Structure 1
Amino acid sequence: MAGEGRPPTVRRVVMFPFPSPSHITPMLQLAGLLRARSLEVTVLHADFNAPDPAGHPEFTFVSIRENLPREVVDNADMVEQMIGFNAACEAPFQAALEALLLQQEEPSICAVVVDGQWYAMLGAAKRAGVPALAMRADGAATFLSMLATPRLRVDGYLPVKGERLDEPVPDLDPLRVRDLIRVDVSDEATVLRFITLVPDAMRASSSGVIVNTFDAIEGPELAKIRAELSRPAFAVGPLHLLSPERVEHGLHAPDRGCLAWLDAHPPRSVLYLSLGSVARIDRAVFEEMARGLAGGGVPFLWVLRPGLLRGSGEQAPPSLEELDDAVGRNGKVVTWAPQREVLAHPSIGGFWTHCGWNSMMETICEGVPVLAQPCFADQTVSARYVTHRWGVGFDVGKVIERENIANAIRNLMAGEDVEARRERAQSLKMEANRCAAEGGSASLAVDSLVEYLLSL
């Protein structure tokens, strides 16, 4: 029986993930760590993109039974959609939380942990009388930039003006104005509204913040967050190293045959390319990427998921052979890859990535250098840290153009500074492993988080 032989449970924590695989996975990883420390876990969830309870019999799953308007579900503007999700789920979440309080038996609820995108749920939890913490699915640097948004608006850095794009942002080194959060398909006023709503809710209604990061890569940023909020910030990452689970998040089943293909290549010879589960690119960008890969002259493994090309619906992108036989001859294409295993494979010498935070944590933890192509949101912040704070890679350039890409690939895989870059990447890997080890800073942070939850 689950939990047999464990010490008596003292309290229960309620968790509310945002309905996206890249957000649900780290939330459930944290839930497992809390349960291993004798907290019972109830997962409140939306019916939209609901997690599978069968995969976690140790948790109690409860739907908030929201009613999402069709215009919210179908909205192609992701920022408007997130605002719509908050508006539609706020009342059902509060009602579900209050119902848990009314019907609860021992152990009693000590706190709720909500995803950082659920800004409205912080106020809802406060009204229900339950202390709430926000769990960020991005890095500390991104969240710090969100906290700075009111100041940046007053100082004239936001809304962004073209002539200021390359100006450094005060107190957010190494960020430039162009590195601040952006979503090109969204109205800038809507983006700024969302970015403002998040820190406003944190200041008004949160009891703290949880970040999937570690001091060796974002120590100064974590310290600034604690000072800015005057409340705890727990660096509990890298969560995928602390968690016993090896679940890969993604919308498609991974093609494990690519691992055998990697086996046939020498160490550090293959470039792995994936732009994650959400980003969309134009056909012209796809063609430049393909030609740049051909010009880079190295073997590559490319994740081309259905829906990657803008306007294609869920159709698969064109094959490389459709562009040119020479492009496809040196590479392998899959719909989805088992990313952690790919990054851990000895043949991988670089990762061309959108710089989503889960991918950042995974590549840092495997010591793989990065070619950065941020697409939207927090990815621009992470890409700047790759190149100018952590020193483990290059960006593909302001313009996605085949010759720039080919040169960047050659520099990443075999440039004159390749060994120094690999050494730096390996150093960060060692730091990540130290943090995740028993008695390391991440494990201690989870212990401190549990103590804090029990004190609320």
Structure 2
Amino acid sequence: MEKQQKPGHLVLVMVPFQGHITPMLQLATILHSKGFSITIVHTELNSPNPSDYPEFTFVSIPDKLTKSQLSGKDAAGLFQSLNKNCAAPLQQCLQKIMNSQGHIAAIIYDTIMFCAQAIADDLRLPGMTLRTSSATMLLLYNAFPELDERDFISKIESPELQPLQLQRFRALLFQNPTEAMVEFRATFLNAVMCSSAIIVNSMEFLEQEAVPKVKKFFPAPTFTIGPLHKLAPTICSSLLTEDDKCICWLNKQAPESVIYVSFGSIASIDKEELIEAAWGLANSERPFLWVVRPGMWVDFGATVAGIQLWRVFVKGFRCYASLSLEINT
């Protein structure tokens, strides 16, 4: 009888942003439960706590990101800098792992850390990409080169994205694109095209039209494994101290009645957009939980905008929001 071969060693390359850290660690947990040994390569920025995951090996690489890059609004520029700064350290790290631990079954990298695909190719290793959001978002990247609006929309049109949303999204993408955005689109798409497999944090039932289109457009096999938070046990991955005071309030609300709002860990918002979103929540007359990250917007103080926002939350006093706003009088 042949001896059963062990699953092997996987190296997962993480992106240092909250919405990407959590699903990558969830995927690592799932793969470890299937018998794989796991090494997590992460940046110095937003490093996970290894003591929370004693079953994994953690290796840190420098990212050299500046505070201005992290606080700015140029997300594409930030992602480009992240990849350019991490490419050489990541290759050295993977080479060291191969020299010390032997064979690597595959490299699984977050799609935003697309430099990992070229490195995997250079080291002759399978490179698999994890898309932490929906399959529909991959269709948007595939349609980037299309300049005709009708073709753009027809390629992506699905119940998940309505035509009006697509028109607005296309206008946002093509209106005065920066050099960093153009470069990001091209390098991102090329990495996905060259990957050995695409892992999507979704399920075909949720995206019945989008997933077949992704499988048609991209040559690599696509696997919908998700939602990951439903498949993996609860993990501790929050970059900020978690505020659980809302749980008591949430338990008192009717099932499926609360609107949850979060703009992620790096997005910033203008005061006009913030006020419009706030009034939308208040006028919905539904209970809502709005997670407001420190530094997401500029302190309004006693400005007209600050007073308007205060009025919104007075109007919505019956709702709970994880928001603290001080107005100096």
The normalised TM-score by structure 2 is 0.82
Instruction: Tell me the amino acid that sits aligned with residue 241 of structure 1.
Output: K
Contact kept in structure 1, 2:199 and 2:224, CA below 8 Å: yes
Report the CA distance shift for 1:94/1:267 in structure 2 as closer, same or farther (over 3 A): closer
Partners of 2:7 and 2:191 in 1: how far apart?
A: 29
Quick check: 1:300 aligned with 2:300?
A: no
Superposed CA deviations along residues 174-215 of structure 1, whole A, max 9, x for unmatched, are 353323494699844432331121121233x42111100101
Quick check: 1:113 aligned with 2:108?
A: yes
Deviation at 1:255, TM superposition (A): 2.5
User: Where do residues 374-413 of structure 1 align in structure 2 (5 Å cutoff)?
Assistant: none
Which position in structure 1 is the counterpart of 2:20? 23
Instruction: Tell me the amino acid that sits aligned with residue 200 of structure 2.
Output: V
Which position in structure 2 is the counterpart of 1:82? 79
Report the CA distance shift for 1:172/1:322 in structure 2 as closer, same or farther (over 3 A): closer
Quick check: 1:279 aligned with 2:267?
A: yes
Partners of 2:206 and 2:314 in 1: how far apart?
A: 40
SS at match of 2:205: helix
Which position in structure 1 is the counterpart of 2:153? 169
Which position in structure 2 is the counterpart of 1:262? 250
Instruction: Tell me the amino acid that sits aligned with residue 37 of structure 1.
Output: K
Which position in structure 1 is the counterpart of 2:169? 179
Which position in structure 1 is the counterpart of 2:183? 193
Contact kept in structure 2, 1:43 and 1:62, CA below 8 Å: yes
Report the CA distance shift for 1:306/1:12 in structure 2 as closer, same or farther (over 3 A): same
SS at match of 2:207: helix
Which position in structure 1 is the counterpart of 2:130? 135
Q: Which runs of 5+ in 1 are unaligned?
A: 1-6, 158-163, 337-456
Contact kept in structure 2, 1:137 and 1:211, CA below 8 Å: yes
Partners of 1:213 and 1:17 in 2: how far apart?
A: 19
Q: How many residues align?
A: 311
Report the CA distance shift for 1:273/1:87 in structure 2 as closer, same or farther (over 3 A): closer
Partners of 2:171 and 2:234 in 1: how far apart?
A: 31
Quick check: 1:91 aligned with 2:88?
A: yes
SS at match of 2:130: strand
Pick from 117, 121, 142: which aligns with 1:122?
Answer: 117
Contact kept in structure 1, 2:13 and 2:110, CA below 8 Å: yes
Which position in structure 2 is the counterpart of 1:219? 208
Quick check: 1:101 aligned with 2:98?
A: yes
Deviation at 1:270, TM superposition (A): 4.3
Superposed CA deviations along residues 338-386 of structure 1, whole A, max 9, x for unmatched, are xxxxxxxxxxxxxxxxxxxxxxxxxxxxxxxxxxxxxxxxxxxxxxxxx
Report the aligned-residue RMSD.
Answer: 3.2
Q: Which runs of 5+ in 2 are unaligned?
A: 325-329
Partners of 1:184 and 1:50 in 2: how far apart?
A: 34
Deviation at 1:137, TM superposition (A): 1.6
Superposed CA deviations along residues 290-332 of structure 1, whole A, max 9, x for unmatched, are 44444443443333332222x349xxx9698843674253222
Which position in structure 1 is the counterpart of 2:232? 243
Report the CA distance shift for 1:96/1:223 in structure 2 as closer, same or farther (over 3 A): same
Partners of 2:283 and 2:70 in 1: how far apart?
A: 40
Instruction: Tell me the amino acid that sits aligned with residue 86 of structure 1.
Output: N
Q: Is the deviation greater in 320-329 or in 232-241? A: 320-329
Partners of 1:285 and 1:184 in 2: how far apart?
A: 20
Pick from 318, 322, 325: which aligns with 1:330?
Answer: 318
Deviation at 1:120, TM superposition (A): 1.6
Contact kept in structure 2, 1:294 and 1:326, CA below 8 Å: no
Contact kept in structure 1, 2:19 and 2:264, CA below 8 Å: no
Contact kept in structure 2, 1:252 and 1:335, CA below 8 Å: no
SS at match of 1:332: coil
Report the CA distance shift for 1:252/1:129 in structure 2 as closer, same or farther (over 3 A): same
Partners of 2:185 and 2:278 in 1: how far apart?
A: 34
Deviation at 1:13, TM superposition (A): 0.4
Contact kept in structure 1, 2:141 and 2:189, CA below 8 Å: yes
Deviation at 1:244, TM superposition (A): 1.1
Which position in structure 2 is the counterpart of 1:408? none
